[in-house]
Structure 1
């Protein structure tokens, strides 16, 4: 499965991957955010990553398919569901990665499993992702009684391309490790996939209160947008940093 996944400067993680997923019709919506705001919201052990001194926060709505753990049967009803991520960019000991403020998913068992076994801030939400020509109509409303909701119509508007390695596009999308904390301990998980085949995108975001629910105010400027049709992803075990 990892054959052909090798890419320049991105090595396949050591050991055996334990899970695979496919991400479909992914929107990357990125906003520049003041460094001091995000620094106060990530664990002190992590360093906030910046591009030319600028911190960023991103939202990723997509449809998750083909969820399967290695050597195990598929989780009943959990092979396909929408997901919505809110994340920023961090480093630890020089290794860049992602830090999630939240991950919303429309599958109760998947949310419970991710919270229990991967210590990630998953939330159960009512979600829909409908095809509309070459675009997606996407709706999410968290089920915890709060106001974390997202509603957008988005579509690609360019030919596919791969990001240049030193570009902002590459810095925002080509990330191969996530960090999380649990009981004051740092954990990380490596992933691997082909380079993102990106497209420029347009989006009408009519509701976006997910960041607000986590005490983050997004700027009023339009986000930087990317679209990706499909990405197959492999996951390695969650490990504690010693």
Structure 2
């Protein structure tokens, strides 16, 4: 469990050119999605991020991807949110199964075409059918878990626990303010992601998405417990205190059609 303390930075740095540093600091615009495969709404998102060992991150990415670094540093994220209004294509939201809570552990990747993405190490979900569909259809590492989301005035509590006795779990307990805050460069780097990389069908693929830019509000973490979730995902943060903590009320999201990465050695 962690307690509220100021976030701290380390001085360690992996080798990186000045040009690549400048590129990492440049905001990434969303790419257009021509054919919508799924629509959904992400609500009440809490982002926690820690610096991670770039070599640990590299070994956990699918073939064809390398760690996407910020100032030579790699990061691991833990994101709590509620998904609503899940719909196929332009159809209506799916009843009952189209709304659920989710917690994911994520890393940040880049492919040979320069596309920045997210790589999910785990995705906890409290609806069984979406878990089975995402695992079987897209190879995503979903697992059926117990997740609760509760508001207590201005304070938001998420808890997750797997359905086996030895399954990993965690929580975040945060106080949310009314004022809108401007994201810093690191926050932009971590959250301006317009797709994911995953391994499926014998290939690594890129799955694009698009949504409005985030609106963030003040988020003061009161406590958190993330050690078992990150350890189960093969990660050990470099320190206990998160480097970035953010809350977003929500955004509508559209997913396009996944496409395989080009064969190794081909750039286009």
Work out whether the TM-score is over 0.5: yes
Who is 2:239 aligned against?
220
Q: Give, in angstroms, the shift of residue 184 of structure 1.
A: 3.8
Q: Which residue is equivalent to 2:54?
A: 35
Q: What SS is found at the alignment partner of 1:220?
A: coil
Residue in structure 2 matched with residue 4 of structure 1 by the alignment: none
Structure 1 residue 116, shift from structure 2 partner: 1.6
Runs of 4+ displaced beyond 6 Å: none
Q: Equivalences for 1:143-222 in 2 at 5 Å?
A: 143-157=163-177, 159-163=179-183, 167-208=185-226, 209-222=228-241
Match of 1:100 among 112, 120, 132: 120
1:78 to 81, 85, 97: 97
The answer to whether the 8 A contact 1:111-1:122 is kept is yes
Output one character per residue of 1:22-52: Cα deviation in whole Å (capped at 9) or x when no partner. Answer: 1111001000011111112212421111000
Counterpart CA distance in 2 for 1:89 and 1:46 is 9
Which of the pair has the greater relative contact order for Cα pairs under 8 Å at 6+ separation? 2
Tell me, which stretches of 5 or more residues in structure 1 are unaligned? 1-7
> In structure 1, how many angstroms separate the alpha carbons of the residues matched to 2:91 and 2:164?
31
Within 1, Cα distance between the matches of 2:79 and 2:216?
13
Q: Secondary structure at the match of 1:227?
A: strand
The match for 1:235 is: 255
Q: Is the 8 A contact 1:126 1:141 kept in 2?
A: yes
Give aligned pairs, total: 233
Q: CA RMSD in A?
A: 1.9
Alignment partners' CA distance in 2, 1:60 and 1:9: 20
Distance 1:11 1:196, change over 3 A: closer
Q: Deviations over 1:53-85 (max 9, x none)?
A: 000000000111111112445444212211001
Distance 1:114 1:207 in 2: 26
TM-score, length of structure 2 as denominator length: 0.81
Residues 102 and 124, structure 2, Cα contact 8 Å, conserved in 1: yes
Give the structure-1-normalised TM-score. Answer: 0.89
Output one character per residue of 1:123-162: Cα deviation in whole Å (capped at 9) or x when no partner: 1101110111122111100124433101221132462134
Tell me the secondary structure at the aligned position of residue 160 of structure 1. strand
Range that drifts further, 115-124 or 152-161: 152-161
- Secondary structure class of the residue paired with 2:181: coil
1:52-71, aligned counterparts within 5 Å?
52-71=71-90
CA drift of 1:183 comes to 4.8
CA 1:85–1:9 in structure 2 vs 1: closer, same or farther (change >3 Å)? closer
